[in-house]
Amino acid sequence: MIAIVAKNPIKPECAEAFKAAASKLAEASRKEEGCLFYALFEDVKQPNSFTFIEQWKDQEAISKHNASPHFVSIVPTFSRYLSGESEVSIYKEAL
């Protein structure tokens, strides 16, 4: 299993638009073969800091996800909502 944690600082005035786009992305991603978990969280101590937490069966599933129509059409739009740099970390299962 592979986990992805993608942190996104969002401009306060763009939070609702970001969440709407993220909702479409998450809904479609959850239907993909190999997707084990896909959700968006907001930091309770840092408003407008949103983090995708994803779990995928393997690298092949991630590669298909990254090439999916919903990913390539939605993710590039996120740049207009960002107030800073996104931070993406990828983890492999250790136990």
- The per-residue pLDDT for range 22-70, each reduced to its tens digit, is 999 999 999 999 999 999 999 999 999 999 999 999 999 999 999 999 9
Over residues 4-20, the mean pLDDT reads 98
Half-sphere exposure of 77 (CA within 13 A, CB side): 14
The two structure tokens encoding residue 53: 């937490």
Q: How far apart are CA 81 and CA 90, in angstroms?
A: 23
Residue 47 sits in a domain of what CATH number?
3.30.70.100
| Residue 28, C-beta contacts closer than 8 angstroms, at least 6 positions apart | 68, 70
Alpha-carbon gap, residue 12 to 17, rounded angstroms: 10
Name the pLDDT band for 84 (thresholds 50, 70, 90): very high
| pLDDT at residue 34, rounded to an integer | 98
Range of the domain at 84: 2-92
* Domain count across the chain: 1
